Amino acid sequence: MNTESLFAPFVDRPGFARLLAAALLLVACDRAPAPVQKTPPLSANEAADASLDVPANTSTLTVEGSAFVLRVADGRVLRGAELQGAVLHVALDGGQVAPLKLASIVPDPETPEILRHDFQTSDGQGGWKTACPPNADGETWGFPVSLPEGHPGRDGDVTVTCVSGAVGKCVRWGYPPWMKGPGGEDLAPFHAACVHMARADYCGDNRPRTKEGTSIDNYDDLGIQRRGAAKDPAYVFEAGWGAQGAVCVAHPRWSDVATLEQIQADCPRLAAVPLCNEASARGLGARMFNTSKLLPAR
């Protein structure tokens, strides 16, 4: 069972910022601190989901798994923790630039293939402050990830996410899009389905329809996530999820956010499904499923 928050739908929304690899190169090689810019500090939301723009004829900054990889023009390659202390310069929507520091980079004790990045932004007074908002456990780290075209969390060749956001949360739930499932399955479609589910993005239109702190019970047919509230009659089947959004919806997560009729009007393909339950969702190609309470309580 998992708890959703407002960070899931809003932290990982695309279009907030772009990271300039050329600016990173200026500080990554010698770890020199970046000068304080006379620009507004990067907000947590803006820093949480950014894309990397690599100018031509320069060193290139990419990502492998959850690690930044900088290929320097002189042939050197800096990867993962070797970039600890580097400062990215983030171009905000509107043309302003703000620094984003990789203050520390360490493996996640629970999932070592995920590198915990302590992203920090300027506090506007010559110092640094944590960029990521906390998740339910108070964690404030994040990581970069490469997402395929059409993925709901993608914002360019590289997306930077906080663990409190839907993109980061679904990686920790067991769906890193760069890895394979227990039977060799490509996990990228499962991760995309998970992001839609976490945001209650039924139509796949990047419109979240949930509230902070909402508890859901999500599961799949791979055995990565299993039902945790199967014996709790308060949790009833909500929806089956695919890479493009819900494949069918039995009830909305919050009827005072969006009723089933409103969801079906927004997304006619969902209105065409006469019955939505786990079996029908599976027949429609669902990668993930979830149950939730009927809210507000009836």
pLDDT in tens, 47-64: 444 443 333 345 788 999
Confidence at residue 52, expressed as pLDDT on a 0 to 100 scale: 37
Q: Is residue 298 part of a domain?
A: no
Based on the domain organization, do 116 and 205 belong to the same domain?
no
Of 294 and 54, more confident: 294
Considering its fold, how many domains does the chain have in total? 2
The pTM is what?
A: 0.81
Q: Is residue 2 part of a domain?
A: no
Residue that terminates a domain, selected from 140, 165, 190:
165
Instruction: Quote the domain boundaries for residue 24.
Output: 7-165
Q: pLDDT band at residue 92, thresholds of 50, 70 and 90?
A: low
Pairing verdict, β 17-20 and 50-53 = parallel
Based on the domain organization, do 257 and 204 belong to the same domain?
yes
Q: Is residue 139 part of a domain?
A: yes
Is 178 in contact with 65 (CB distance < 8 Å)? yes
Based on the domain organization, do 63 and 105 belong to the same domain?
yes
Confidence at residue 258, expressed as pLDDT on a 0 to 100 scale: 97
* Residue range 196-227, pLDDT digits in tens: 999 999 999 999 999 988 999 999 999 999 99
Based on the domain organization, do 39 and 158 belong to the same domain?
yes
Based on the domain organization, do 93 and 226 belong to the same domain?
no
Confidence at residue 105, expressed as pLDDT on a 0 to 100 scale: 98
Based on the domain organization, do 117 and 236 belong to the same domain?
no
**pLDDT over 60 (residue 23):** no
Q: What is the mean pLDDT of residues 161-177?
A: 95
The radius of gyration of the chain from alpha carbons, rounded to an integer in Å, stands at: 20
Q: pLDDT band at residue 89, thresholds of 50, 70 and 90?
A: confident
Closest CA to 93 of 47, 148, 38, 142: 47
Based on the domain organization, do 263 and 159 belong to the same domain?
no
As given in the structure block, the two tokens for residue 169 are 């949360």
